[in-house]
Structure 1
């Protein structure tokens, strides 16, 4: 029995859209950074993301759509706390401490370690399947990101560099732990992460002497945060649901290139050979990932969980009466053996040996 839609949909478009929004937030934040303290701006961005998603959540509830996604459960609390700790608090804090102790060029170069950390943890710790094509594609994307941020200085592994590397490790852990929550409502998760992390960063920045900017700058930062952090994070979590952490992390690594292209348009920067070569490497990596066809006979064990779904080959349970799709409820998967293209999504997290498919 085969699925009725492409295995690329909707995970790949969601991951790429997340990268576009996050990549665009960097040059847009650059327009604000001269007028707003960097730590304070981080708080405004996250708080803007959280408050914006509060409005989205409220509007969704008013329209009666809150039942489409699975709510957070009490058992999700430890994972959510860890995600907020690593991704919303430790990551930004280590980044700012690191940037204050190393050059901007070195910091930019070291930030590419986030993609490497995300993929490495997914493959080595959580045992997501990988083959040589994926490794080569990930290497090409990361090489393009390194090329994009290379200034001739290299990455200095001084204290500042080590702190930035620590921030990237925190975000790599965050991305993989978020996969544990990917069946739950992404708007609710991103909303809580933005509100908690944004409030704490804002309070800490103000406590060390940062001054609040004018209302216009705060509003601009909040809008950038809503789109570049909030909506981007929701799309990232939806992509995790369909692709797993390693592949989502690889697609998300395109964000620096997207930000660089937008910077060319916003600041009329020169299109350099460095940018063109980085784009070619990232394009090669993207093609290698899009051309992946992971297909083999596999067994689904009995599984019970809750998430948004439609009735397809993996969801053949019955309902009393008519239901709209997609919908969410606790359901049971009976054992099944079949063959079709798939990613390590919610229903395909079986183990593999490393091989070409």
Structure 2
């Protein structure tokens, strides 16, 4: 019998998808009071401000993590492409694109994320993972078709939406490069920058601020669906790699539709259940993956939260009270062994 393995990273990815998917039905309610661009800005602001408060309480002050210059560059690229260019391209593209075309094109994010991870960033994969990704994306396409109301077609708007998906795919792969760092800090910084930029853009093109209660509701939704979701997404990237995390996260539209059915009324169409079966099969293929082979770890020095497992056998140059997990710079000595693993931050090796 095939064994299903749900790791902490897998749980984080699916919970991130659930929280992000839930934003769609709630955001639709908020669109009655504000423009899409302003709503995007407030959602991101809620994420940045809310996570900033949580970080201040957790750390008893504001502490910026120590990151190499190269990682700051990856983070800057992730913020620019994912928090600024992506949302801007989407909002402009929506002005010139039908609902059907937009829904279908947004599925490109998962595909482009995986392709970039496998081809450009050399993340390992196999036929089982590729097939699982295809089934999940197929389910998302079916769900998009069933909910579409306009005609499909290509236009400049379509190209802009496809460009937005490429921006987010790049963002996912760039964020993978810094995922060993404090996920709360990364998500807080991305949310704050994206929130300020999108809100300024909205106000500059004539958007009017809604009531205080509507602003508060949008920011709470943003904290949960953009902020906490992104923290969990970064944690999943750290443990699963980009393509697998992207596959789980692409179930968000289905989870959002399910929440809408449960809490906002309506009936599930036959296409909804077809999408559920396709996505369920794709997720099952990923959950039952078992990737085992002899592999070698090169020496690496980095900083992240860890326990002293097989990959973290190192000395401490400071007084340690024995508490785990803990965070400090540490060096991994070269080691060759064999065990089941994902393409996480400790398994970025090549395959012969």
TM-score by length of 1: 0.93
The residue aligned with 2:11 is: 13
Unmatched segments (≥5 aa) in structure 2 = none
Is the 1:70–1:306 contact (alpha carbons within 8 Å) kept by the matching residues of 2? no
Deviation (angstroms), 1:155: 4.0
The aligned residue for residue 28 of structure 2 is 30
Alignment-derived partner of residue 333 in structure 2: 334
Following TM superposition, by how much is the alpha carbon of 1:74 offset from its aligned partner in structure 2, in angstroms? 4.2
C-alpha distance in 2 between matches for 1:102 and 1:252? 24
Give the C-alpha shift of residue 17 in structure 1: 0.5
Q: Name whichever of 139-148 and 69-78 sits farther off.
A: 69-78
CA–CA separation in structure 2 for the residues paired with 1:88 and 1:46: 9
For residues 168 and 156 of structure 1, what CA distance do their matches in structure 2 show? Answer: 17
Q: How many residues align?
A: 345
Distance in 2 separating the partners of 1:70 and 1:286: 34
Shift of 1:322: 2.3
Correspondence 1:84 to 2:83: no
Kindly report which structure 2 residues correspond to 1:1-357, keeping only aligned pairs within 5 A, or say none. Answer: 8-62=6-60, 71-150=66-145, 151=148, 155-319=152-316, 320-353=319-352
Task: Assess if the C-alpha contact under 8 Å between 1:133 and 1:289 holds in 2.
Answer: yes
Measured in 2, the distance between the counterparts of 1:107 and 1:328 equals 42
Partner of 1:3: none
TM-score (ref. length: structure 2):
0.94
CA RMSD of aligned residues (A): 1.8
* CA pair 73-323 structure 1, distance change in 2 beyond 3 A: farther
Answer yes or no: is the 8 Å Cα contact 2:98–2:150 preserved in 1: no
CA distance in 1, matches of 2:299, 2:68: 21
Retained in 2: the 8 A contact 1:70–1:183? Answer: no
Question: CA 1:73/1:215 → structure 2, altered by over 3 Å: closer, same or farther?
Answer: farther
CA contact (8 A) 2:99 2:149 kept: no
SS at 2:337's partner residue? strand
Q: 1:126 to 1:185 in 2, by over 3 A?
A: same
Question: Secondary structure, in 3 states, of the residue corresponding to 1:172?
Answer: helix
1:313-352: CA deviation from partner (whole Å, max 9, x where unpaired): 0001123442321111111111111111000011100012
CA distance in structure 1 between the aligned counterparts of 2:295 and 2:150, rounded to whole angstroms = 49
Q: Give the Å deviation of 1:154.
A: 6.1
Taking the aligned partners of 1:211 and 1:322, their CA distance within structure 2 comes to 54
Where does structure 1 differ by over 3 angstroms across 4 or more consecutive aligned residues? 69-75, 151-155
Report the more deviating stretch, 326-335 or 164-173. 326-335
Q: What is the CA-CA distance between 1:41 and the residue it aligns to? A: 0.4
In 1, the alpha carbon distance for the partners of 2:122 and 2:152 equals 30
Q: Shift of residue 104 of structure 1?
A: 1.4
* Partner SS for 1:296: strand
Give CA-to-partner distance per residue, 1:35-58, whole Å, 9 cap, x none: 111100000000000000011101
Alpha-carbon contact 1:70-1:329 (below 8 Å) kept: no
The answer to whether the 8 A contact 1:70-1:308 is kept is no
Q: Secondary structure at the match of 2:314?
A: coil
